[in-house]
Structure 1
Amino acid sequence: MTNQVLQTLVEMRGIESNYVDAWGKPATIADSSKAKLLNALGYDTSDESAVYEQLNQETLSYWQSPLNPVQVSRVSDKLQFSVRLPIELVNDAYTFVVTTENGTEFTQTFIPVDAQLIDAAQIEDVEYQEYVIDCEHDIEPGYHTLALTVEGDDEALTTMRLIMAQDACYMPDSVAAGRKVWGLSVQLYCVRSQQNWGIGDFSDLSRLVTDAAQTGAQFIGLNPIHALYPANPDACSPYGPSSRRWLNFLYLDVTALEGYHDASVQQIVNDPEFKAQLQAARDAQHVDYNAVAQLKLAVLGAIFDVYEKQYLKATSQPRKAFEQFVKEGGESLDMLAVYDVMQEHLKEAGQPSWGWPVFPERFKEYHKPDVAKFAKKHARRVTFYQFLQWQAARQLEQANQAAQDAGMTIGLYRDLAVGVSEGSAEIWGNKDLYCVKASVGAPPDVLGPLGQNWGLPPMDPKRLYEQAYQPIIDLFSSNMASAGALRIDHVMALLRLWWVPKGDHARDGGYVYYPVDDLLGILALESHRNKNLVIGEDLGTVPEEIRGKLADNGIYSYRVFFFEQAEDGGFFSPGHYPEQSMSTLTTHDMPTLIGYWHCLDLELGKTLGLYPTQEILDTLYQSRHEDKQAILNSLHGHHSISDEVGHDVNHTAMSQALNFGLQTHMATGSSALLSLQLEDWLQMDKPVNIPGTFDEYPNWRRKLTRNLEDIFADENLRNLASRLTQARIEASTDK
């Protein structure tokens, strides 16, 4: 096959041939990698005739579709849409009817040939022409339908989803007016408290927002709280979920649920063996997900029995509310609940159960007839898992309400993972959308010198478009619920994703592009509907084009102090950060401040074999040494630390003065938002996650070192919070 034929298909499907790497150097994607990426997209690249046939079929399909499946437009732009017809029909009169989601109709008649011709094609002896039609009406933001009819014919020829979006994402009035705020970021499962069951829960979250607000914090940032795998609790990465639309019900505070105090439930929790297991889960250094899941599911099952008898078997207000929740959750909620029950059933039967790829053939896809039979047979257990999602949503909303009641400017901000794991319910329920022969990752960069493969099958951008973007709408909407802001992990995914063909090394992948302008429009629309400020995590290999688009769309950049360096090695003053940004010192993928300063991450990386050669490791040590000196120079130069902190890195260890000095240094900056890790408040040394590792390190398990009840009673931390608040006030008035 000629490279030109392959390249035509490559360009048509948005596969990038060249890119600029994280060090600013040009890089090229190998032809073999591009062919594998086409295979992952479902194309046969075995010979030239097969490629030609696929190209012809897609071209024919395009021209034989009078309208696109979906169009995203901005309210400030002139609304236009294109129509494709055989040449013999372009002189006929047509009518389009826009029906808004509120039921309002706008009608307009036109003759295509009177409009602007923008393209034409000759296919199988038929000439097709494409015209741009101007809409004379102003259509409000929302999800609408455009129907095309031949004049005089009542039945629509075809329809298109019309999405009208605001020009930029929502932001709170006070932030838009220049108020600068700070908040804390926390991995919820890490939280210790006197009451929780070995994992942080939504009641802990309510207390955290209340206590933090009293010290001046204006938000609490969360790790992704997506649904994981109740039958496989050790698959605990919040960034490799089963469903991004639904919640991890292990965050439920079971003691706060109605029915907990029933005698049947109390008999379980007061059993000496249960008490011992519960205490062991609380005392464990790392979250014991298996123990937590067993403890909570046992009690949740008993609570459901009580709730079902009291409310769900008779007409009641709680039953109506639950039924409404299930109705609104639709197929997505049913699919997840059925999946959870199926995994549980297969595991109990001793059969492979880690994910749908190992399910029996008759169960490998949600829409199979045998799955429907299974769901019917296990209907009560399916209802139980739906009930848990309902209760999780209610408790999360209570935490959100606590943030609002405390007067927080933003309140909770949630985190949207970039994908779901291969064995997820989300893929099981929509196989056409996901490309399971590839995985999302990253090319080699500063954080991952070997490149990264995250084990997350990507969405096919063409299928997403054909499904009128509904899956992405659902993701944005559900993750903005009960929150005031949304952080989008690896926000470059809106523009492009690094796909790694299955079985290949991460460095041998390639970039696949997505319809960025459409996705940003949907994001803007949902952010206004849900009153969510949006933060885009734009670290790693970031093309300049996406930074500008994010800014223009009102999305806040994510600026990490340790990456904000000038060419001479010095660190930019936080006063030079973009105002439209969230600044931070560290992230969940980085060492803590103590870990960074004492190079504990490099020591650990060497032990785990993350660095290919000693030379690379030596270079990293030398670079770290130079960076630390530059940090001291910057902090002293800005008078952010006193002389009790040394000037010479060779004699200056991390101390509370240096730690708190770094945090207040950031608070003086120009970024609208400042996020600080609770781990750094507590001066912890161990990271929560080491990118590129799986079983080598207990990722996503390390707990905080202190109970929640003790943190805000600490006078040192209260003083730090006061300094942060004052610095943010002064930064706001310096605008």
Structure 2
Amino acid sequence: MTKLQAKRQLERQFANAGIHRYFFDERGLRKYAPSAVKQQILASFGGNVPQNMATGLLPTVKVFYHNSPAYLRLNQHNGQRYHGEWQLQLENGDTLVGKVKNNVLNFPRDLPLGYHQLSLKCGQIQADSSIIVAPRQCYQLPQIQNKQKLWGSCVQLYTLKSETNWGIGDFGDLQQFLAKFQQNGGDFVGLNPIHSLFPANPEGASPYSPSSRNWLNIIYIDVASLPEFRQSAAAQHWFQSAEVQQQLADLRQRDWIDYSAVMALKLQGLQLAFAEFEQQAASERQRQFQQFVQQGGESLQVQATFDALHADLSRRSENQWGWDCWAAEYQDYHSAAVSEFQHSHVEQVRFYAWLQWCAAEQIEACYQFCRQQQMPIGLYRDLAVGVTPNGAETWWNKSLFCLTASVGAPPDILGPQGQNWGLAPMNPHVLQQQAYRPFIEMIRANMQSCGALRIDHIMCLLRLWWVKCGDSAKNGAYIGYPVDDLIAILALESQRQQCMIIGEDLGTVPKAIVSKLKNAGIFSYKIFYFEFDQQGQSRALAEYPYQAMTTLSTHDLPTVNGYWRGHDFELGQQYQVYPDPKILARLQQDRVNAKQKILQRLQQAQLEIPPGVDASLSSDCPLEFNHALQRYVAAVNSALFGLQPEDWLGMTEPVNIPGTSTQYPNWRRRLNRTLDDIFADPAVLALLQTVSHARKMV
């Protein structure tokens, strides 16, 4: 084989794998990935790349839109003509049959929405395929269809302080927050991802680095409100002891969460509550739990087994961070050793399944409260873009993930080194081979107990930046995903669950996905500070798209106070986020320019600018100005508008600094006031009532 032939063969392999040849950076310049980088990425697929996309008579899965022409052309081999019959088992139990004509299977145009199973027989050849029929658009509330303007609060649940929680915000706090917020006109409360993390490794606290996205983070359980905890004499004796009360008082007053101490205390209380639960053999709650276990199926057993095994191994040995650190016989869920553990530790596995039930009950109670109060959206949840490579999700389905690659982002102005998020990417080809079932189950799980779902980095439906594990994020390439199929499935589940979709589309957004998201009824995500018109002016509020959610900040950005004072640059320098002083200077000048444009808009709106507030990085940001800015943006044309409690309080410290891991205590900073204090503050109440009024007027 000549060098040219070898090069062409390699390029075909890259194309079959879905590795993009180039992409456009934030300046619109075309960037090519070196061949050596693409070869590293190709190797991470581990051979799970189709050499020929048409390997069988039928595709593994085929997606059709509802009330559109529906037919399948058989994959021909050497021009062969096939004759035979097909049978389509519909989701509702009905069966359709037909014959193959000219190597084509023609289905009725009005196939019902849902998931159907196709069987084909051509002589001695049999083939099967999953048929998915989806709507063209995601669900939208009647209020949205009527062009109303809704507003809410974006809350990092763990940051909430109260007189009753155990040192971290919990579902009990959430219900209190909802009650007080709804009284002030709020339409929804948005949450950080509440996916399951690692109870045996509580310091792994990032909500965006979950063990599994199919289950919940048990640290959010409000232990004291569980019926079994209240009924247990042993639990109450323990809870009322001077030692435990002192621990709780200490954890409550801290400004930063001590995850290890909180988790240890909660697990003690939960074990006592579980012991009481197990004594109630014939109770209604036992029946409800058993139903939950049956509905959860093997997925719940995997999660419960993982957490129980992780806890057991961590008690016996240090540094058992995830399954890749465990003894070899435990590194695969399907192993004989894991099966033996399940049989010999039935109660421990059952305990962790019970914790999932407790968490699910409490978040559902919060959502039902929203519905009773007729909040249009109520809760909206957040779906992380990926999972850690050593958690429950990868442990169960290793073939789906490319564990020698990591997901991130290419270099840009804000992150000149690129970003490596340490998350394992799904193999798009295996995802198709599995008929998209993991994606369907994940989406469905995260649409429970909420009226909207925010999808982090929604460009992942089109492409993801892959990097070889351990390598610099600069040495990566984009991998393509079956975007049309994934959006169609998203629309189907959205309609079935009556759950709106918000797509976090910040950063460099490829044109190929913009119209797809818009046409599918997926809401864009706008940050006020980043929005400028074609003339370079701060975008007029009336010019924001309606099909969007607008906020002033997010968990990855400085608070309003931090932004205006340039505190994020101080922290970035302290933690060496900006190694290039020229880039830092450019970003600082961009900030000054942006603030000048914002101040011009505020002056045009005849807002009084307090003394000391200007465009410089040393500017003041008094609370009155902070609130005035939030009231101004409340008039935005977007259907959804969100505020953060941090900004009601004028807080400066962020919850997260992208580009850091251990340098800054990410995901640990709490609010500086309790829920009762916040909603008793006249300034906060005046802000919320003004915003509520403004949203009804726009």
Residue 265 of structure 2 corresponds to residue 295 of structure 1:
yes
245, 252, 255: which one pairs with 1:285? 255
Number of the residue aligned with 2:28: 24
Displacement of 1:347 in angstroms is 0.9
User: Which residue type is aligned with residue 67 of structure 2?
Assistant: S
Q: Aligned partners of 1:324 and 1:109: how far apart in 2?
A: 42
Q: Distance between the aligned counterparts of 1:633 and 1:140, measured in 2?
A: 54
1:178 aligns with 147
Q: Say whether 1:149 aligns with 2:121.
A: yes
> How far does residue 520 in structure 1 lie from its aligned partner after superposition?
0.2
Match of 2:686 in 1: 719
Matched, 1:42 2:46: yes
Structure-to-structure mapping, 1:521-540, within 5 angstroms:
521-540=488-507
Counterpart of 1:282, as a letter, is R
What displacement does 1:162 show?
A: 0.9
Distance in 2, Cα, partners of 1:426 & 1:446: 33
Q: CA deviation at 1:643?
A: 4.6
Say if 1:76 and 1:167, in contact at 8 Å, map to a contact too.
no
Tell me, what secondary structure is at the counterpart of 1:98? strand
- Equivalent residue in structure 2 for 1:411, among 357, 378, 395: 378
Amino acid paired to 2:85: T
Where 2:406 maps in the other structure, the secondary structure is strand
Q: SS of the counterpart of 1:701? A: coil
- Describe the SS at the equivalent of 1:507: coil
The question of whether the paired residues in 1 share the 8 Å contact of 2:65 and 2:134 is answered with: yes
Correspondence for 2:224 = 255
Provide the residue aligned with 1:344 in structure 2: 311
The whole-number CA distance in structure 2 between the counterparts of 1:549 and 1:711 is: 41
Matches of residues 55-454 of structure 1 in structure 2 within 5 Å? 58-59=51-52, 62-86=53-77, 90-92=81-83, 94-111=84-101, 113=102, 131-150=103-122, 157-261=126-230, 262-311=232-281, 315-454=282-421
Give secondary structure in 2 for the equivalent of 1:282. Answer: helix
Match of 2:13 in 1: 9
In the TM superposition, residue 63 of structure 1 has moved relative to its aligned partner by 4.3
CA displacement at 1:446 relative to structure 2: 4.1
Whether 1:649 and 2:653 are equivalent positions in the alignment is no
Cα distance between partner residues in 2 of 1:645 and 1:637? 17
- Supply the distance in 2 between the matched residues of 1:496 and 1:103 (Cα, whole angstroms): 36
- Give the corresponding residue for 1:50: none
The superposition leaves residues 23-66 of structure 1 with CA deviations (integer Å, 9 ceiling, x where unpaired) of: 222211111110000001114xxxxxxxxxx98x732xx54511
Deviations 1:113-172 (A, max 9, x none): 2xxxxxxxxxxxxxxxxx443213511111111111248x9xx92221111111100010
Amino acid at match of 1:642: E
- Report the Cα distance in structure 2 between the residues aligned to 1:504 and 1:652, rounded to whole angstroms: 40
Contact 2:196 2:212 in 1 (8 A): yes
> Equivalent residue for 1:702?
669
Shift of 1:516: 0.3
Task: Give the Å deviation of 1:275.
Answer: 1.7
Please give the alpha-carbon distance, in whole angstroms, between the structure 2 residues aligned to 1:350 and 1:673: 49
User: 1:447 deviation in Å?
Assistant: 3.7
- Report the secondary structure of 1:259's partner residue: helix
Q: Is contact 1:645-1:657 (8 Å) kept?
A: no
Query: What is the identity, as a one-letter code, of the residue corresponding to 2:299?
Result: S
Distance between the aligned counterparts of 1:626 and 1:86, measured in 2? Answer: 62
Residue 138 of structure 2 aligns with an amino acid whose one-letter code is C
**1:500-551: CA deviations, max 9, x gaps?**
1112111111100000000001100110111101000001121011111100
CA distance in 2 between partners of 1:77 and 1:263 (Å)? 62
Asked if residue 668 in structure 1 is aligned to residue 659 in structure 2, the reply is no
Using the size of structure 2 for normalisation, the TM-score is: 0.96
Asked whether 1:468 is paired with 2:435, we answer yes
Q: Secondary structure at the match of 1:230?
A: coil
Match of 2:463 in 1: 496
State the TM-score, normalized to the length of structure 1.
Answer: 0.92
Number of aligned residue pairs: 692
Equivalents in 1 of 2:663, 2:331: separation in Å?
A: 31
Point out the more displaced range, 722-731 or 587-596.
Answer: 722-731
Secondary structure of the structure 2 residue equivalent to 1:80: strand
Gap runs ≥5 in structure 2: none
The structural deviation recorded for 1:386 is: 0.1
The aligned counterpart of 1:544 is: 511
Alpha-carbon shift at residue 566 of structure 1 (Å):
3.3
RMSD: 1.7
- Offset of 1:3 from its aligned partner? 2.4
Shift of 1:647: 7.5
The partner residue of 2:646 within 674, 679, 687 is 679
Shift of 1:343: 1.0
Alignment check: 8 A CA contact 1:450 1:506 kept: yes
Counterpart of 2:62, as a letter, is: Q
- Cα contact 2:195–2:212 (8 A) shared by 1: yes
What secondary structure does 2:137 align onto? coil
**2:590 maps to what in 1?**
623
Give the CA deviation at 1:269.
Answer: 1.1
Query: 2:613 & 2:677 partners in 1: Cα distance?
Result: 33
Q: Is the 8 A contact 1:447 1:540 kept in 2?
A: no
Give the letter aligned to residue 284 of structure 1.
R
Q: Identify the range of structure 1 (73-82 vs 499-508) with the bigger mean alpha-carbon deviation.
A: 73-82
Tell me how far 1:468 sits from its aligned partner.
0.6
What residue is the counterpart of 1:585 in the other structure?
552
One-letter identity of the residue aligned with 1:230: P
SS at match of 1:703: coil
Q: Which moved more, 1:489-498 or 1:570-579?
A: 570-579
Q: Which amino acid aligns with 2:266?
A: K
With over 3 angstroms needed to count, the CA separation of the structure-2 counterparts of 1:89 and 1:24, relative to structure 1, is closer
